[in-house]
Structure 1
């Protein structure tokens, strides 16, 4: 909401959660290149860097950090969880925030068992209670990962009360997550919405609409490939992107 703040009875009990599934697709031509890609992703998105990203998110949304837990995994992947609060708190206040206000990120690098397709997925949840909004960090997170495919979910749960006791099930205007995405980002993606307005549930899927094969090759360029190889790899990458975007396996592209 803008400057006209709602006068509430007690604490704002609304819980707002913004969830990201971000995907990067890559093609690695050999077993050695696939191994190097996994190592590269593991280094680029290790627990230390992910922790800094979530600390920046906390600053952007105006939250206070209560606790940070991070972990790098073997053979690959990382997770970070940060507990946050709307106001500075003392020890007695921490428990009430554990299930409402948190930032989490988990990474999942993986590869196709038979083809050279590599897929890196990052799952991020920004959950807040009270006045602070996870939507304020939306564009920062999109820019931080610069993904090929993004699935966004935003939900407002619970209710709070005004001074007369009337229940408020949402405290801001929204009809699409797209309204909060920067124009420069919107221009780079094709997007569709699946929203349930009555339940304050908003869902947006995004996929890059420009395709340059060089952006999907690891350790090589398309000039290193024959025209037939380029066509085959382009088809495989498109197939992977379409299946992730549509959320189902699809007939092989010809």
Structure 2
């Protein structure tokens, strides 16, 4: 989707729950050089060093949690995409948002390092961007309340998103809201919305 080639996948499941996955990617296909030919390439570094310097990566870590007193389960997924060259993680935003069907998202995008133009002048950013929202379809943005916190001089972009619609049935397991009393509905809804607010604003609510 972002124009990258998958080179290697490492994954680890945790007990009782959770997982970590690292995907090593490159901008173009990598041609393996037989070891007997390495000595014919002047200045070539050891294979492991060359291979690692040429790659980008995608990592996914999951953090399922259960609140012991409130009875609320949360599922957090941290996704980190580090790329170079012409491949961009921004191209995958729409897919990632809908794949995880998430309620709360915190998206960070930072342009690091520099490249050069045809006149050898340094370019510290080579594409127009004023907000991460520029790369999210209007149909998706309509589903979320979004807040931007950007540091343009440092090419740092930050967007927080919270789902607008709230249907209690989407948060119940083994039950539906028609089985609950009005007091139960109000209590569960209040606890859920407090949990979502705390995650969205990044602080504990009174």
Are 1:212 and 2:167 matched, yes or no? yes
Using the alignment, how far apart are the partners of 1:94 and 1:105 within structure 2? 21
Using the alignment, how far apart are the partners of 1:125 and 1:156 within structure 2? 14
Query: Please, which of 171, 196, 201 is the counterpart of residue 246 of structure 1?
Result: 201
Aligned twin of 1:164: 119
Answer whether contact 1:154 1:202 (CA < 8 A) is retained: yes
What is the count of residue pairs matched by the alignment? 190
2:184 is paired with a residue of what secondary structure?
Answer: helix
Q: Tell me the TM-score normalised to structure 2 length.
A: 0.89
Aligned twin of 1:90: 31
Give per-residue Cα distances to partners, 1:123-153, cap 9 Å, x unaligned: 0011100111111111000010010100000
Using the alignment, how far apart are the partners of 1:231 and 1:97 within structure 2? 54
2:30 is paired with a residue of what secondary structure?
Answer: coil
Runs of 4+ aligned structure 1 residues displaced above 6 Å come to none
Q: What's the CA shift for 1:95?
A: 2.0
- Residues 13-52 of structure 1: pairs in structure 2 closer than 5 A: none
Give per-residue Cα distances to partners, 1:153-192, cap 9 Å, x unaligned: 0010000112222100011100000111111111110000
Aligned twin of 1:72: 13
Q: Tell me the TM-score normalised to structure 1 length.
A: 0.73
Using the alignment, how far apart are the partners of 1:195 and 1:220 within structure 2? 42
- Residues 86-235 of structure 1: pairs in structure 2 closer than 5 A: 86-91=27-32, 92=47, 93-98=50-55, 101-235=56-190
Higher relative contact order (CA 8 A, sep 6+): 1
Structure 1 portions without partners, runs of 5+ = 1-59
Q: What root-mean-square deviation, in Å, do the aligned CA atoms of Structure 1 and Structure 2 show?
A: 1.0
